[in-house]
Amino acid sequence: MSIFKGAGVAIITPFREDGGINYTEFDKLTEFQIQNGTDAIIVAGTSGEASTLTHGEHLNLIRHCVRTVAGRVPVIAGTGSNCTETAVKLSVEAERAGADGVLLVSPYYNKATQNGLYQHFKTVAEAIQIPILLYNIPSRAGCNIQPETIVRLCREVENIVGVKDAGGDISQTAKLLALAEGEVDVYSGNDDQIVPVLSLGGKGVISVLSNVIPRQTHDICQLYFEEKTAESAALQLQSMKLIEALFCEVNPIPVKSALNLMGFAAGIPRMPLTELEEVNKRKLEQAMKAYGILG
């Protein structure tokens, strides 16, 4: 049973001017998502700047998100770490908080072997009972979870059910889905590849784009599921310039700027990330105006 089907938002973490988490604004962003059809909330992931949250902030944010969402859509908590013990502790606490699942990024910096990745994810999975999505993002983590390893984990470990595939290699995605034979829930981790991944048998997307246009991102998936593939593809293509602008600097720098332009108080990223450069801010504004988000 899939944790969700469709478009889940990789929600940002808004910060106050003093640098703390702005929970009031987080609630506004959460309501904006739910009211516009988001199929799941993915909290404390890459877009949520989990890497610069303290463990206390990280867990408080997950608990707060679960309370705010109140069962209206699934909440998937980012609990990955390059330290297996830390990933276990975060995942156990996320389960206690009521999260519907966890998202485990591959251990970054360590550059584990495929056997090491298998043992890492298996160890975390054995500590909890809720479903797990792996998160394969070689460009950030420095290692690639090979399709064979993903399939092995999903077949041999009961509560590992799928993967957020942010590798960007559609050939590897096709190989994964061919090997999986329906036993792995695959979600695109790249907003410019939603329809291609769905066409291969994917379940949806874990999306940065959805922070800004949740209804349209949901509709890309829903139209595809309704076999309205031309309409789905048209929405995907219509969003390409906006997607490009949202990744003109490393995520989540541009998307936080976009939300600020929309009137939300997303704040600025935590160091070492910085505010969007002016030349890129103009590019982002132009893309948002062209899409009709800004007047």
Alpha helices in the chain (DSSP H): 23-35, 55-69, 84-97, 114-127, 138-141, 147-156, 170-180, 194-199, 214-225, 229-238, 240-246, 253-261, 278-291
User: Is 111 among the catalytic positions?
Assistant: no
Of the candidates 209, 211, 164, 189, the one whose C-alpha atom is nearest the C-alpha of residue 14 is 211
Name the domain count of the chain. Answer: 1
pLDDT on residue 7: 98
Query: What number is the average pLDDT over the span 160-173?
Result: 97
Element (H, E) at 70: none
Q: Is residue 280 part of a domain?
A: no
Domain annotation covers residue 246: no
Residue 23 lies inside a defined structural domain of this protein: yes
Q: What are phi and psi of 193, to 5 degrees?
A: -125, 25
| Mean pLDDT of all residues in 98-126 | 97
Q: Quick check: is 60 in a domain?
A: yes
Residue 160 pairs in a beta bridge with 132
Angle between helical axes of 84-97 and 55-69 (0-180°, round to 10): 30
Instruction: Measure CA 108 to chain center.
Output: 17
pLDDT for the residue numbered 295:
79
pLDDT for 21-41, tens place per residue?
999 999 999 999 999 999 999
Instruction: Share the mean pLDDT of the chain.
Output: 97
Which one of 118, 135, 187, 224 is the catalytic residue? 135
Give domain status of residue 125, yes or no. Answer: yes
Task: State how far the Cα of 271 lies from the Cα of 233, in Å rounded to an integer.
Answer: 37
Rounded to whole angstroms, the Cα distance separating 193 from 171 reads 12
pTM attached to this predicted model: 0.97
Residue 132 lies in a domain: yes
Residue 110 has a pLDDT of 92
User: Which residues are within 8 A (CB) of 50 and not within 5 positions of it... i.e. 6 or more apart?
Assistant: 44, 58, 78, 80
**Owning domain of residue 37:** 6-228
- What digits encode the pLDDT tens for the residues 198-252? 999 999 999 999 999 999 999 999 999 999 999 999 999 999 999 999 999 999 9
Q: Tell me what pLDDT residue 160 has.
A: 98
| Domain annotation covers residue 241 | no
CA dihedral 113, 119, 120, 125 (to 10 degrees): 150
Mean pLDDT, residues 108-114: 94
Tell me if 161 sits within 8 A of 136, measured CB to CB: no
Residue 111 has pLDDT above 90, yes or no: yes
Task: Check 164, 203, 256, 283 and give the catalytic one.
Answer: 164
Q: Using 50, 70 and 90 to split pLDDT, how confident is the model at 2?
A: confident
CB-based contacts of 250-253 (< 8 A; 24+ apart in sequence): 251/46, 251/47, 251/208, 252/12, 252/46, 252/47, 252/48, 252/49, 252/208
CATH number at residue 39: 3.20.20.70
Residue 1 has pLDDT above 70, yes or no: no
| 124 falls within a domain | yes
Peptide bond into 214 cis (omega under 30): no
pLDDT attached to residue 93: 98
Tell me the percentage of the chain whose pLDDT exceeds 90: 99
- Whether 135 is catalytic is yes
pLDDT average, residue stretch 183-207: 98
Q: Enter the DSSP assignment of 129.
A: -
> How do residues 51-86 score in pLDDT, each as one tens digit?
999 999 999 999 999 999 999 999 999 999 999 999
**Among residues 87, 108, 103, 96, which one has the least CA distance to residue 45?**
103
Mean pLDDT of 1-5: 89
